Every structure is written in structure tokens, then in C-alpha cells.
Amino acid sequence: MRIEPDSFAFTVLLGALAAVPYSGIDINLPALAATGATLGTSASDVGLTMSAFMLSLATAPLVYGPVSDRLGRKPVLAFGLALFVAASISCALATSLPLLLVCRFFQGIGAAATATTFAIIRDLFDGDAARGKIANVMVAVNVATVIAPTAGAALLAAADWRSIYATQAAIGLMLLLVVMFRFAETAPETTRLAPSARLVRSAVTDSYRRVLTHPVSLPFILVGAAGGATVFAYVTGASLFFVGAVGLSPEQYGLIFSACSASVMAGAFLDGQLGRRGISSSHMLATGLTLSSAASVALLAMTSTGWMPTALVVVLLMAVALGFGLSVPNVMSATMQHLPDIAGAVSAAAGSIQLIAGAISSGLVATRFDGRTALSMTAVMAASSLLALGLYFLVARPADRRLQSRTIDAGAAIRSPTRS
């Protein structure tokens, strides 16, 4: 019996699928030193496995997205999860760092298939319903982000670092079985093609041409990328500042990180609840972006004056995270709204561009960190959040309104009787 799209079980499945890539990063963090000790290398060298995983995670969706539009979501998910399971087992059996790097790269390729989650939502839901589902998925992803490091530490204490990869393989296998036997295809039949390398290549090219030239979807993708860059700047800079400059312990920083993740969850949950009460998506998006920008600018102003009380900094970072949680479901919904037939390609492009923007912002924060202040973090956060706010109010929202106005006018022209 298939899982019904309106059921709680379906929401849990979507959340679990979307959390696979993020848990694949965070669950391994506590085991870097132990892995290095076993393989005869340093923890910093083992950290390259994160880069290998994220590289494939950023690029593979660019293929999965349009392919899932043409061949269906289910075969792409099944392939990706099967590869994730096989690569996770290979990681657990790896006997050298080069071999582990290769296995992690393929593990990322497998995990990247779950990026079709947002396309699945767009296949089945529209408007506020889609926005609510995306909000629920965001909550699940952040739950996984909070739990994963603790779970990794517990597995490391109970067994060794190989058990972490074995656990990932077990989770992937369970999801694969659910997808194979309980998940029904959601991609519209009208958009699917018979498998053909030539047709698939043509579909990929055509899909991305449409995405990157669409007057509404592209601006919203850029809004989401700038918003994501804000968060990546925090993720990179907060540990450098709190641990390296302020002198907090890793455990204390972990509590701050968990509090900010909880704020993202709270924002996404609040957006879903307010959407059910009739609060418009545009209103919540404007509120979220404005909140993140105001808090980021306040942090930059405090850094410039040298007044950085830890408690207030944490509160403002939580405000940035809350604004991100309020805005993300609405950005994703607006991004896919006008191109439902290629929702996979839209979702893939949005995710990859956001990861690229995040990598740039993280690099800027890390390379410009002076060892004493949070200036590199707060400057990049303020610039990114203001860019997101400006893109929304000056580009994305006006373009969306123009397109909606043309659609309404065209509909009125069709309904009106022809005059002789």
C-alpha cells in the first residue's frame, strides 16, 4: 500500500529524504580524529572527505533534477539511495584515505538524489499547501542537523568510526525500501520521456535554459542563494569567533549552534502555521528577509564599535536564523511556482547556486578572519542579507507581480466575449 501524500507518514518520508545530505555531513564531524588515527593521517586531512562529499552534493543535482523531470522522481531516488548505501558500506570498509575520499565522493552523488524532495512537493501541492510542506521538511532537516553530531559521537563511543558509515548505510537501505514499495511516482506523465541518452541531454539543456532565463524563477533563486550565503557565513564564522576569539569551549559553542538550528526550525514551523491562517507568502518572505538583514546589520555595527557581549550576539544570530526559517519555504515555493513541469531542474539549480554562494561566503569569512573579532563574519552576513533583501524588493517581487498581472489579463481576455 502506498503512502498517501496528505498523510503524516509522507511528510516524515520527505523530511527523512531531505535530511540525508545534511546528516551525511554532521554525523561524521566527531570522528575526524579517530578516522585519521586508524588510517594513519591527520584529522585535517580526513576533513577533505567533507569537501569530497560536498563537491558531489553540489554538482550531482544538476543532472538529477532535469533527469527526474523526464524519467520520474522514483527511479532517480531509487538509484541515488542504492548508490548511497553501497558507498556508505565502502566507506566503512575503507583502508586508506584516498579510498575513503573516493567513497565519500560517490556517497555524496547518491545523497544528492534526495534534492528531488522539493520537486516532489511541487508535483503534488501548490500555493500555501506547498509552502507548508516545505516548512515541515525544513523542520526535519534542522532536527537532523541538531541530532547528527550527537549521534555520531555516541556511535564513536560505542564502537568506532566505521559504525557511523554502517549506520548511514542502514538508514539509506530503509529509505530505499520505502521508496521502492510505498512511494508512488509523482512527476506528471506529460513531462516524462522514454529513456534515451540523446533526449535526456536535450532535456537537461532545455530545462536549464528555461530556468536561467525565467523572469521570476531566476530572481528568486538568487534571493535564496544570498540568504543561504548569510547562513553559511554564520556557520563558518561563529566557531572561529566563539571558540577562537572569545575562548568558549566546543561544548558551549555546540549549545549556541543548536539554539540557532532550533531558531531555523521555529521560523519554518511558524511560517507553516501562519500560512494555514491566511498570512500571505510574500508577507512572510518580506518579514523573514527584513529580520535577517536587521539582525546582521546590528551585528556588523556592534563589531565596528568593539562592543560584542556574547549573550546579545547569540540572540542576534538566533534572529538571523529565525528570519532564514521564515523565508526559505516561501523562496522555494516561489522559485518553482511558475515552472511546475521542470520542478526538478528548478530545485537542482536553486540548490547548487545556493551551495556555490555558500562556499564563496564561507571562504571569505575564513580567509579574512583576523583571529580577534567577528568582522569577517558580520560583514559577509550583512552584505549577503542586504543583497537578498534588495533582490527581493527590487527584482523578484516586481517581476512576480508583473507576471501575475499578465496572467490575469490574459485570462480575462479569454473569458470576455469576442466583439464583432
Instruction: Please spell the DSSP secondary structure of 251-269, one letter per residue.
Output: HHHHHHHHHHHHHHHHHHH
Residues 116 and 14 in one domain: yes
Residues 368 and 327 in one domain: yes
Residues 171 and 278 in one domain: no
Rounded distance between C-alpha atoms, residue 259 and residue 268, angstroms: 14
Of 220, 329, 171, the C-alpha closest to 265 is 329
Assign residue 7 a region (left: φ > 0; alpha: ψ between -120 and 50; beta: otherwise): beta
pLDDT at res. 289: 97
Residues 184 and 215 in one domain: no
At residue 252's C-alpha, the angle toward residues 246 and 253, to 5°, is 70
Looking at residue 52, its amino acid is A
Residues 114 and 10 in one domain: yes
Q: Which helix (H) or strand (E) holds 75?
A: helix 73-93
Residues 327 and 231 in one domain: yes
Q: Is residue 409 part of a domain?
A: no
Residue 417's contacts (CB-CB under 8 Å, 6 or more residues apart) are none
Q: In terms of residue numbers, what domain contains 42?
A: 1-189
pLDDT at res. 193: 55
Residues 379 and 266 in one domain: yes
Half-sphere exposure in the Cβ direction for 121 (13 Å, CA)? 34
Residues 12 and 81 in one domain: yes
pLDDT at res. 331: 93
Virtual torsion, Cα 44, 256, 155, 97, nearest 10 deg: -10
pLDDT at res. 420: 42
Q: Which three cell numbers stand for residue 270?
A: 511558524
Residues 254 and 142 in one domain: no
Q: Is residue 65 part of a domain?
A: yes
pLDDT at res. 413: 64
Q: Is residue 66 part of a domain?
A: yes
Q: Is residue 85 part of a domain?
A: yes
Q: Distance from CA of residue 89 to its chain's centroid?
A: 25
Domain boundary, last residue among 160, 189, 218: 189
Residues 184 and 74 in one domain: yes
Q: Is residue 411 part of a domain?
A: no
Q: Is residue 75 part of a domain?
A: yes
Rounded distance between C-alpha atoms, residue 112 and residue 26, angstroms: 15
pLDDT at res. 194: 54
Which three-class secondary structure string do you get for 268-301?
A: HHHHHHHHHCCCCHHHHHHHHHHHHHHHHHHHHH
pLDDT at res. 249: 82
Q: Distance from CA of residue 418 to its chain's centroid?
A: 49
pLDDT at res. 163: 94
pLDDT at res. 419: 47
Q: Is residue 415 part of a domain?
A: no
The CATH code of the domain that includes 246 is: 1.20.1250.20
Residues 33 and 98 in one domain: yes
- For residue 190, give the DSSP letter: G
Q: How many domains does the chain have?
A: 2
Rounded distance between C-alpha atoms, residue 219 and residue 272, angstroms: 23
Which stretches of the chain score pLDDT less than 70?
44, 190-203, 250, 407-420
Q: CB count, 10 Å around CB of 296?
A: 30
Question: Which 3 state secondary structure label does DSSP give 309?
Answer: coil
pLDDT at res. 162: 94
Looking at residue 355, its amino acid is L
pLDDT tens by residue, 39-71: 998 876 887 887 788 888 888 988 888 888 888
**Backbone CA torsion sign across 3, 109, 91, 52:** negative
Task: Report yes or no: 175 and 51 within 8 Å, Cβ to Cβ.
Answer: no
Supply the DSSP string of 354-408, one letter for each residue: HHHHHHHHHHHHHHH--SS-SHHHHHHHHHHHHHHHHHIIIIIHHHHHHHHHHHH
Of 389, 28, 55, the C-alpha closest to 230 is 389
Residues 234 and 361 in one domain: yes
Q: Is residue 325 part of a domain?
A: yes
